[in-house]
Amino acid sequence: MSSRQKPAHITLFSREQAGNEVQTDRFEFDGVWFEKAGKPFILFEEPLEDGTLVRSALRIDPDKVAVLRHEKVGGHLILDPNHRQKMKHPSPYGMLEFYVTTHRLEAEVLKEQIRIRAEYSLQLLFDEQEAPDPQKQDVYRSLELHINEQKMSSSDK
């Protein structure tokens, strides 16, 4: 870890609603926090159900947050309340396409802590001819991220 990187602990609370089904989850990850071009970046690894670790990154801009996932999962999620985003995501059934509409985004960056709250919906596109209807939402998600700088003990330095 470089001297500019700080250890970080990430706690993610998520809620997803598709029709009448609601799923809530809580995940915790350890990673690193650093700044690049004046913007906070958080790097961490997420375990998949099969135990594979996937490298992920958060980039926090003043008006949007990007979730960048690598390797097996791939795909990027841009949460931007000013622009509806068209995204692609690999799945076992092929490439899924969808629109992301960010309804609410709050990002608070403090010296030793970052808090992100977002509400967004996904509209799945099942074929190329399907018109992107901003009123049609297949999945509604909300998430809250708490990123805290971890203080290193003298034995960790």
SS3 95: strand
Q: What pTM value is reported for the model?
A: 0.81
pLDDT at 19: 85
Amino acid residing at 129: Q
DSSP-derived letter for residue 153 is P
> pLDDT in tens for each of the 157 residues of the chain?
555 899 999 999 999 998 899 999 999 999 999 999 889 999 999 887 777 888 899 999 989 999 888 756 667 889 999 998 888 877 777 777 888 999 999 999 998 899 999 999 988 876 655 555 655 667 889 989 899 987 655 455 4
Closest to 152 (Cα-Cα) out of 33, 41, 37, 57: 33
Domains of the chain: 6-145 (2.40.128.20)
Give CA–CA dist 118/27, Å, rounded.
16
SS3 38: coil
pLDDT at 66: 92
Give the chain's radius of gyration (CA, Å).
Answer: 17
| CB < 8 Å & 24+ apart, contacts of 53-57 | none
Closest to 17 (Cα-Cα) out of 127, 89, 102, 120: 120
pLDDT at 40: 94
